[in-house]
A = this chain, B = another copy of it.
């Protein structure tokens, strides 16, 4: 049983309520922070949940402060949940020294190698402990799907968090009904960021990497709904780190429906995310509310 999230601060926003919380995570063996936006509809009835996973260096706050998502979540009646991007203050030597490894860089994987494996269990945290926490303490909508009652939820993210959203959805196709990403790291096994953290967190046995690589996963598991990805053409990380065309090729090969939009002149920043956030929330709302009956 999860302990109750502790409210740290609260803001009224677009008629709903944005709260910042902390709780003791069993998966991550440490205090974790998160942000929850309850749209106005949540005061009247349970609502679907949309998880956003953030990129390198971010906390639970960046997306809520910069993406402008609350307006559309309020319009469509979606709860937004944003976890932090890693455990913090674990005491692991050097955890804050490298912005691509350790704090702010949990990569949404379960670390297998010491000392990271004691705390860096972000995959289990995001797909299991966090949804349980949200379902226990917030008004989440449950629907009956194929005879089973399920929480109605989707997931999306940016960069490292786009990678996170893709792998969480591909590994749990019944748990997340909708998925999208902004400039995701599409093939972490093939890019410097991914290779660096996978080596540190998972070790050098490459077969374990495939379980956290969207371009590998999609070859073995497809999703019924199309995946939406937006990618700026002027993104400084496009070719070396993000590699959307590797994922596009894998989706094509596997028969996975994908809408990959290359947005001319856009970069990797939140100004890019803010520009297309309305489309993404509409994508999720159409699927999450479309399966209402």
A residues in contact (CB < 8 Å) with B: 11-15, 18, 64-66, 68, 70-71, 232, 234, 265-267, 269-272, 274-275
Contact check, A68 vs B68: say whether CB atoms are below 8 A apart. Answer: yes
> Residues of B contacting A64 with CB < 8 Å?
271
Residues of the B chain whose Cβ atoms lie less than 8 Å from the Cβ of A15? 275
In the assembled complex, the Cα of A62 lies from the Cα of B234 at a distance in Å of 23
**A14: which B residues are within 8 A, CB to CB?**
274-275
In the complex with contacts A65-B65, A65-B66, A272-B71 CB distance below 8 A: no
Indicate if the CB atoms of A11 and B65 lie closer than 8 Å.
Answer: no
Contact B70 A271 (CB under 8 A): yes
Q: Tell whether, in the assembled complex, residue A65 and residue B270 are in contact, meaning their CB atoms are under 8 Å apart.
A: yes
CB-contact partner of A68 in B11, B18, B269, B274, under 8 A: B274
A271 CA / B68 CA spacing, docked (Å): 9
Minimum Cβ distance to chain B for residue A276 (Å): 9
Contact B269 A11 (CB under 8 A): yes
**Complex: A8 Cα to B272 Cα, angstroms:** 18
Is the beta-carbon distance between B71 and A274 smaller than 8 angstroms? yes
A124 to B191, CA, bound (A): 51
Contact: A18 with B65, CB < 8 Å? no
**Could you tell me if A267 and B68 are in contact, using CB atoms closer than 8 angstroms?**
no
- Whether the Cβ atoms of B271 and A13 lie closer than 8 Å is yes
Distance of A49 from chain B, by nearest CB (Å): 20
Given contacts A18-B271, A66-B65, A71-B274, contact A266 B12 (CB under 8 A): yes
Q: Can you list 24 pairs linking A and B with CB atoms under 8 Å apart?
A: A11-B267, A11-B269, A11-B271, A11-B272, A12-B232, A12-B234, A12-B265, A12-B266, A12-B267, A12-B271, A12-B275, A13-B272, A13-B274, A13-B275, A14-B275, A15-B275, A18-B271, A65-B65, A65-B270, A68-B68, A68-B71, A68-B274, A71-B274, A71-B275
How far apart are the CA atoms of A70 and B67 in the complex, in Å? 12
Of residues A71, A266, A275, which shows the largest number of chain B Cβ atoms within 10 Å of its Cβ?
Answer: A275
Write the nearest CB–CB distance from A173 to chain B, whole angstroms. 33
**Cβ contacts under 8 Å, A272 to chain B:** 11-13
Contacting residues, chain B, for A269 (C-beta < 8 A): 11
Chain A to chain B: the 5 pairs with minimum beta-carbon distance, closest first: A68-B68, A13-B271, A11-B271, A12-B265, A12-B266
Among A12, A68, A265, the one with the most B-chain Cβ atoms within 10 Å of its Cβ is A12
Give 7 A-B pairs besides A12-B266, A13-B271, A68-B274 with Cβ atoms closer than 8 angstroms.
Answer: A11-B271, A12-B271, A12-B275, A14-B274, A18-B271, A70-B271, A71-B275
